[in-house]
Structure formats: C-alpha cells, structure tokens
Amino acid sequence: MKKNVKKGMIPYLLLIVFVLSIYYILSLGGSKVNDLTYDKLISEIKGNNVEEIIITPNANEGTYNISGKLKNYGERESFYVKAPLTDTIISQIIDSNENLNYKIETESDPGSSPLLYILVNILPIILLVGIGFWFFSKQMSSAGKSMDFGKSKARLNTEKGKVTFKDVAGLKEEKEEVKELIDFLKNPKRFQKLGARIPKGVLLVGPPGTGKTLLAKAVAGEANVPFYFISGSDFVELFVGVGASRVRDMFKQAKHNAPCLIFIDEIDAVGRQRGTGLGGGHDEREQTLNQLLTEMDGFGANEGIIIIAATNRADVLDPALLRPGRFDRQVTVNLPDVKGREEILAVHARNKILAPSVTLKNLAKRTPGFSGADLENLLNEAALLAVRNNKEQITMKEIDEATDRVLMGPAKKSKKYTESERKMVAYHEAGHVVLGLKLNDANDVQKVTIIPRSYAGGYAMMIPKEERYTSTKKELLEQITGLLGGRVSEELNFGEITTGAHNDFEKATKIARSMVTEYGMSDLGPVQLEQQEGGIFLGRDYNKTRNFSNEVAHEIDLEMRKIINECYETAKKILSENKDLVKLIADNLLEYETLTKEQIEYLVQNGKMPEEEDLSKESVEELKQKAKDKGIKGYSKMSKDELVENLKDEEEAE
C-alpha cells in the first residue's frame, strides 16, 4: 500500500519541479544585464553611483566575475564585469571609495563545488527532459489503452483452490444435469464416436443467491479446464460497436484455449428481447446480442467450448437465444428444500464453532424460503454477534438474533413506544398467534415478538407446517385469515384500529387477487384473467394487454372483496371464541417481549409460562458437572455466565 502511494506521488513531485524550473528560467529571461569594463566600474564607484557589488572568483577561467547594480538602474537591471584574478582587484574596489557607500558581497567559487554547479546548471535541463519524456510515455500509454476498448473483459479464473461439486450443496438434480458437460470436456471423443452433439450452451435460471455462479465454477473445476467469467453488463458500452467487438475477441480467446468454459453472468443485461421498449431495435445492446448469436452459430458443437449463462429473468430473454443450437438446455436452480438447506448450512459451518445445542437440521426447518446466499449470511451474522458478545461458540441465541436480522433488520431498542402502543402491538401479534394455532392449514408460529425492527412494531415468524409446491383453496383462505388476525384482534379488544396491519393487508390482497385472476378459485370460474408481466425496461411492451372488459374488472373487485370479508369474519369468530387465550399470550408478550414456539405451546396447555431452573444460583462446579452430563464441549474452560447460557440453549434444544 505504501509503495503504491509513493509511486503515485512521483508525477506530482515532477510537476512541481517542472513548474519551479519554468519559473526560474522565466525570471532569468526577464532581467537586463549590462556589460561594463573594469575601468568603467571604477569610474562609477568614484562617482558614487554603485548600489551593490557581488564578487565571485572563477578559478577555472582565472577571473573575477563582478556583478552588481547601479543607482540609476531599473528594478531588474544589473551589470557584469570580468576582471583578472589578482589580489589587487578587491583592494582597488575597496580603496576607490573609502566611505563604502555601497554593499559588497562575495560568493564561493562554483568551480570548487561541482555538486552546486550541477544543481544550478545541469539538473534543471535533466528534469525538463525527464518530465517531457514522462508525459510523452503517458500519452502513448493512454493511446494504447484507448485502442484496447474493443478487447474482451472476460476474466480467467485464477483461484488457487478450485471449486468442485463438494463445495456445491443442495443442488443434486442440477449437478446431474451438468455432469455431461464435464464428461465431454474430459473425453470429447466418447461423444463424437456415437454422433452425439453436446449442448453448445446451458442456461441456469433461478432466483438470486441460489448458487448459479457457484455451479458454473464447479463445472470448470471438475473438468479442470480454463474458466472465463464475464458479466452481461461488461459487453455494453456507450460507443456503438464496442460490445460486438468484445464478443468477437472473447470467442477468439476461447478458441485459442479450447477446451474451455465461458460463463456469462446476468445475461439478461445484453440478451433482452430485441425491438421492445422505448429504445427501438438499433441500439448498441441489440448489436451486441446479434454478434453473440452469430458467434454461437459460428463455432462447431465439438470444438470444446461450452457457454454457461445465468439469469433470474428468463422471461425477458430473446427467443433466438433459447432455440436449439444456442442455449440448448435450461437448468432451473430453485430455492433449496429443507434437506438442501441443511447441506448448505453444513458447508458454510465448516469454519464456524457452533455450540452443541445448535443443530443444523432444526435450523434448516426454521428457514424456509432462504437461498444459499441467505443461509451463508445468516451464519456469518451469528458469528459476528458471538464475537460482539465475547463468546467462544455460536449459540442458539445468536442464531435467533441473526435470523431476525436477516428477515426484519436489527432491533430498534432505542425506539420507545408508549404503554398504550405497546399493548396494542402485543394484542395485534397475539391475534396472529391464536389464528395460527386454531387453523389447521395456516402457517405455524415459530416465534413472536413485540421488539420493534425496521418499520415493524413487532412481528410473528410463521412458516408452513410442511413444505409444499402447490396450495389448495382452503390453505390460501386460511393464510388470508391468519394475516387478518392482527387487525381483528385490535378491533375486538380495543374497539379501535391502527396502521400496523398495512403489510398484512398487502399480502392478503395479493393472495386474493391471484385466486380470482390467476388460479380460477372464485365464482368467475376457471379463467386466467391476468398473468405476470414484466416492465418496459425488462423487455416487454409498454402497454399491458387486458384480456377482460370493464364489467369483468368490476366483478374481479367484488370477488376479491368477498374473499377478504369472508376471511375477516372467520378471523373475528375464532378470536371472539378465544379471547382468554389472546389475553394470555398478549400479557406474556408484554412481560417477556419475545415468545418461542415451545413457550407458546406450554402457555396453551398450562396457562402459564414454564418455570425456568435458576442456574445462576448454582456453583461453577455444579454447572460444569451438568454441562459434562449433557455433553457440552469445552465446558471446563467456560466462565459461569457461559455455562449458564450453554445449559439454557441445550434445554431449549431438548
């Protein structure tokens, strides 16, 4: 770092010296020097017309260099006299005016100091030449770089530790789909013998963070071939033709290094459907896409070049990209299921010190909808919290807090609610909890809290009882009912409503509209009236096509309102019948602020919170013996507080 800083300061230092040198030269050029004879000088001295005399001996020439200024000279005017190097010269000057009405100075002989001579006479010239050469070389370098703008920005992967399938967890089917590519790159003759044509391109489609890039790196690592990485945005530039030039250069490099693998991340940046949106069909992006299509057609199927592209917006890609002979195969990389999440957590937990109470299986069950990137971030946040709390292990306490941080953001402990607001939030969340308990197909309550996070005053963590890929009408209706529980609880217990349910209404309305317009789950019949459409800048038309009349639109609104109202009445009926349970959960929320699934279940069965064993009163030796019995690792080196914390985590896990 320091080396780079010093290197960066050199041009500025040279520039300063250059400016000073120019100033020195200009200052010399603006002065006027008059040549005088020695006799004339003596005459001027006798006439009392000398203001200043500077005497400099020059041994190399055997002379005195006498300079100075007369009283009648201008500001930048001086005289110069050469006299023989004899001792009488100085005395004659002094004796010519006994009163010494002028100033006499002497300077050392420049010939006696070679260094001074070089500094004064030679160094400025050298610096001027050096600075001129430096600026010239910089200009040539810039010109060379400007000529490289059409070169490919594809980067060759040079990581020391190659990524393999061992590093890719939770993608069993996806890895099977790409194994053929590895076999082809290792032994292409095996496929050529049977006349098989390996896919030229594979398109990985899926939400962000699901491991598309990691899977592509693993293919290259398993095949042990060069891996070129480039983003779709690297092709697009302001100047027309640059993107197409980079595509040509990329394929040129790939052919020289075949067999190899090219990975284009976020291909939708350059591969969006042509002729759509406001830009028309003659922009730089489309020319780049045309060149990409041409290059993919230009190399043979068995040349040893395979293109893997990734996107989370396959719906906006140009159809020409997806036809056979280009991206022949599409592999969908979905969010991991519970088993996949457990495997992903195991990979990211390799370098983490987890407490014995932390089980990855339970953690995987509590994180539905998390991508691989989300799970990695979850464990990292938990590790940071453990360091912050001066712990040697990551406990369930840090895991819970990290989960809340990922979902809702950090706790706003400084945010103070009034007592009435706090009570309203407690009853709101209690309404969600009770409906989650009483409805068979509603989401399961894992945790509820009234600690404010982000913009939420509190929240209930609810996950599906089972991971399913389809939903019945009954399940969707009960999901809507559960979402409306907070507002209903406010109305029943306070006769007043707040703005806290706006996010619940947003989710409920979205489900109800999908039931009517997409799923055919209303009195309008099994008709799809709407479908998901992209925006103008995502490759779709500017105007969204309506396939229903204004009368049908009115009927859609009526059906949505009917669904919401029926679910609202169902929620009101259930909460009215269980007002005591709502009050019980709300009161305990006001006291403890956070309730876990186990605590809620105990409350429902016993009507009170479980009595916790007061571990803090026990001695350190007693706590260590309990930790030993429960199989807690590292108990002998733990402090009393650490022992208490780990024992509580172990009991919660049990």
Give per-residue pLDDT as tens, 29-67: 556 777 777 777 777 777 777 777 777 777 666 677 777
Mean pLDDT for the stretch of residues 85-112: 60
For residue 31, what pLDDT is reported?
Answer: 65
Residue 9 vs residue 495, higher pLDDT: 495
| Predicted confidence band of residue 26 (pLDDT cuts 50, 70, 90) | low
Prior bond of 464 cis (ω within 30°):
no
Catalytic residues: 429
For 381, other C-beta atoms within 10 Å of its C-beta total 19
Mean pLDDT for the stretch of residues 423-447: 85
d(CA 296, CA 336): 32
Q: Which helix (H) or strand (E) holds 214?
A: helix 212-223
Residue 175 pLDDT exceeds 70: yes
Mean pLDDT for the stretch of residues 282-291: 73
Residue 348 vs residue 652, higher pLDDT: 348
pLDDT above 90 covers what percent of the chain?
Answer: 9
Residue type present at position 253: Q
- Collect all residues with Cβ–Cβ distance below 8 Å to 645 and sequence separation of at least 6: 391, 395, 397
Residue 624 vs residue 208, higher pLDDT: 208
Residue type present at position 568: Y
| Predicted confidence band of residue 560 (pLDDT cuts 50, 70, 90) | very high
Q: What is the pTM of this model?
A: 0.64
As a whole number, the mean pLDDT across the chain is 76
Residue environment code for 151-181, b if the CB has 16+ CB neighbours within 10 A, otherwise e: ebebeebeeeeebebebbbbbeebbebbeeb
For residue 640, what pLDDT is reported?
Answer: 67
For residue 276, what pLDDT is reported?
Answer: 58
d(CA 648, CA 646): 5
For residue 543, what pLDDT is reported?
Answer: 41
| Predicted confidence band of residue 413 (pLDDT cuts 50, 70, 90) | low
For residue 564, what pLDDT is reported?
Answer: 94
For 218, other C-beta atoms within 10 Å of its C-beta total 22
For residue 539, what pLDDT is reported?
Answer: 40
Mean pLDDT for the stretch of residues 117-125: 62
Give per-residue pLDDT as tens, 181-206: 787 777 777 777 777 777 778 889 98
d(CA 324, CA 199): 8
Residue 149 pLDDT exceeds 50: no
* Least reliable range by pLDDT among 58-72, 140-154, 210-224, 470-484: 140-154
Give ∠ CA 71-74-79 in degrees, rounded to 5. 70
Residue type present at position 380: N
Mean pLDDT for the stretch of residues 571-587: 92
Report phi then psi at 447, rounded to 5: -165, 145
Residue the block writes with tokens 């009195």: 523
